[in-house]
Amino acid sequence: MDLSGRVAAVAGVGPGLGRELALTFAEAGAGLALLARRSAYLDEVAGEVGTAALCLPTDLTDRAACAEAARRVGERYGAVDVLVHNAFSRPPLGSLGERSAADWHAAVDGNILSATNLLYELLPLMQGRRASIVLVSSISARQPYPDSGIYAAMKSAMLTLVRVLAHELGPHAVRVNAVVPGYIESDNLEAFFADAGTRRGTSAAQARLDAEATTCLGRFVTAREVADVVAFFGSAASAGVTGQTLDVNAGQWFG
C-alpha cells in the first residue's frame, strides 16, 4: 500500500494493534502524528517507526487537549489525510444491572467522545483533501462475550457513528469507515483465554481451541492483518468507499 506524501494521525498507539498501525503506515510512506495518553510508549513506538513522527501525549476525552494536538499537527504538517481512531476504554466487567451511571459516562467518554473530540478538531486540516477516517471497533459489537455489556454497546454505537459521520462529512470530501477486528493474537489474548478458562471450569488452552474452532480459518488474525485493512481504507484504493464496516476475523462472524 503506497501512502507516500500523505499524513496520518493515529490515535490509540499502545501495545499490539496501535503499534502495528504506526509501523504499517510508516512503511507505506506516510508522515505520522501519534497520539496516546502515555508519552513513554509514544516515544518507544516512534523509535521503532524510524521516521520523524510527531508524538502527542493527549487525553482524547478532553476537547481542549485535542484542540492543542490538532494545532501542533497543523503546525508540523499543514494537513491530515488519514485519521485512525484506535483509542478505547474498557469498562468493568459485569451485568448491566451492576453498572453505575459513572461507568456509562466513562465508557461514552473513552470510546465515543474520544473519537469525535479529535475528529472535529482535525477536520479543518482534512476538508477538501479526499481524506479518510477509520474507526476501529471490535467483534464485541457483533458477538458480545459474557459480562461485556457496556463495552459491546460502545463498540456497536461506533458502527452507527460511522454511518452518521459518512453522511455529515461526505460534502467535505471526507470518507468514514470502520474496521471490526476479531480476536487478535497478542499477550493480552492469552490472558483473556486464561480468564475464560477459569470462568468455564476448563483450561486456557481449551478455551482458546474452542474459540479457534468458531473461525473458518481455524486461527485468529494478527495485528498486521488488521492494520493492512486500515491502511487500505486510508489509501486511494478505497476512494469510493464510505459509511462501511469491514470485519477482519478469519471468518468468525459473517455480516
Read off the pLDDT of residues 2-43 as tens digits, 9 standing for 90 and up: 899 999 999 999 888 999 999 999 999 999 999 999 888 899
Question: Per-residue DSSP letters for the chain?
Answer: ---TT-EEEEE---TTHHHHHHHHHHHTT-EEEEEES-HHHHHHHHHHHTS-PEEEE--TT-HHHHHHHHHHHHHHHS--SEEEE-----PPPS-GGG--HHHHHHHHIIIIIHHHHHHHHHHHHHTTTTEEEEEE--GGGTSPPTT-HHHHHHHHHHHHHHHHHHHHHGGGTEEEEEEEE--B-SHHHHHHHHHHHHHHTS-HHHHHHHHHTTSTTSSPBPHHHHHHHHHHHHSGGGTT--S-EEEESTTS---
State mean pLDDT over 130-154.
86
Whether the per-residue pLDDT at 92 is higher than 70: the answer is: no
This prediction's pTM = 0.93
Domain residue extents for the chain? 7-184+222-248, 186-220
What are the two backbone dihedrals, phi and then psi, of residue 195, each rounded to the nearest 5 degrees? Answer: -70, -40
The architecture in CATH of the region 7-184+222-248 reads 3-Layer(aba) Sandwich (3.40)
Backbone region of residue 65 per phi and psi (left: phi > 0; alpha: psi in -120 to 50; beta: other values): alpha
Mean pLDDT of the chain: 91
Q: Which stretch of 11-15, 61-65, 170-174 has the lowest confidence by average pLDDT?
A: 11-15
Q: Which stretch of 54-58, 145-149, 183-187 has the lowest confidence by average pLDDT?
A: 145-149
Q: Which residue has the cell 474498557?
A: 90
State the pLDDT at residue 139. Answer: 87
Range with top average pLDDT, 36-50, 150-164, 228-242: 228-242
User: 235 falls in which pLDDT band (50, 70, 90)?
Assistant: very high
> Does residue 174 contact residue 131 with C-beta atoms inside 8 Å?
yes
